[in-house]
Amino acid sequence: MRLRPISHHDIDELKSLAQETGVGFTSLPNDHDFLVAKIDKAVAAFEGRVPACERLYFFVLEDEQSGELAGCCAIEAEVGRETPFYHYRVGKLAHSSVQLDLHRTIDTLFLSSDHTGDAEVASLFLRPAYRRDRNGTLLSKARWLFMAEFRDGFPDKVLAEMRGVIDADGISPFWQCLGSHFFPMEFKQADQLTGLGQKSFIGELMPKYPIYTPFLPEAARACIGQVHEQTRPALEMLKKEGLRWEGYIDIFDGGPTVEAYIDDVGAIRHSQRALVEVSGGELDHAERPSWLAATTGMADFRCSFIGRGPDADGVVHLSETEAQRLNVTGGDALRLLQT
């Protein structure tokens, strides 16, 4: 398995992925024209044809034997620059009465764009058949190696939006109790519109004043900051890297947004550079490889597991198969991470 930038010939496989993601996965809507445009934007980003702050880096995980795409992930260099990026900020309002000797603190939701200009890791999806052999780790951590290698192209902070609670019928209790009162459409339609980048209606129709959460039914309050069952593994991986929930939630399904300073992310702090030396034959390979290797070029970026880490001289020895998978030769540099 290897991770690489998406290319134009991946459109059919990407459409298949989009059909499998399900409701609530807003960044990969099942829309042909949108997906073609997304690929065009990603290719331009990897080739450096757009300003760094406008780049969308979209990666795919490829099964070398079958040629099938096992999954995908992405990095948005800066959110909110082209279209508004909205969240609810969970806050508190204190009320007191001296005469009655009462003090109450009420939880609130306030529409915000506080994350404008932050980077976002997004679109992480792995097909069920490939949810094994640490493929999820490869998908998730490869993005951090890319950001570490091209650190100057990213801002100070990074976030990740987590899919919120949605039932088997595609219904979000949070939406049913709140959003549906302001938008004359079903959750699936609103979800699709935001995925297509049509977000102006949010600012136009959502209330501008704080929403007191005690006014919401218990079903909606229980969704605040909670994730979809299938999203829990991704959330746990992000938490291990140091991303934390700071009180921001999705305005439609109530899912949490986790965030961190980029330089504090574990995989970025612990990654290291090493020089490549290619063996003439095959090398001993660990049963469960614990080292990730990423190349240092942007347009031809590759990432995969390798069987060993660097030696004391900062040299990593690759088998011919590993070198071919990463498209590197002796003397090239790799960014490594022990997982």
**Residues with catalytic annotation?**
228
Task: Name residue 180's amino acid.
Answer: S
**H or E stretch at 321:** helix 320-326
Beta strand 303-306 pairing with 291-295: antiparallel
> Do residues 291 and 307 make contact, with C-beta atoms less than 8 angstroms apart?
yes
Rounded to 5 degrees, φ, ψ at 296 are: -105, 5
> Do residues 35 and 6 make contact, with C-beta atoms less than 8 angstroms apart?
no
* Cα radius of gyration rounded to whole Å, the chain: 22
Please tell me what DSSP assigns to residue 163. P
Token pair, residue 26, equals 């807003």
DSSP 3-39: EEE--GGGHHHHHHHHHHH-TT-TTS-S-HHHHHHHH
> Do residues 92 and 106 make contact, with C-beta atoms less than 8 angstroms apart?
yes
Rounded to whole angstroms, the Cα distance separating 244 from 256 reads: 9
Q: DSSP 3-state assignment of 142?
A: helix
Q: What angle do CA 305, 60, 328 make, to 5 degrees?
A: 45
Neighbouring-strand partners of residue 306: 291
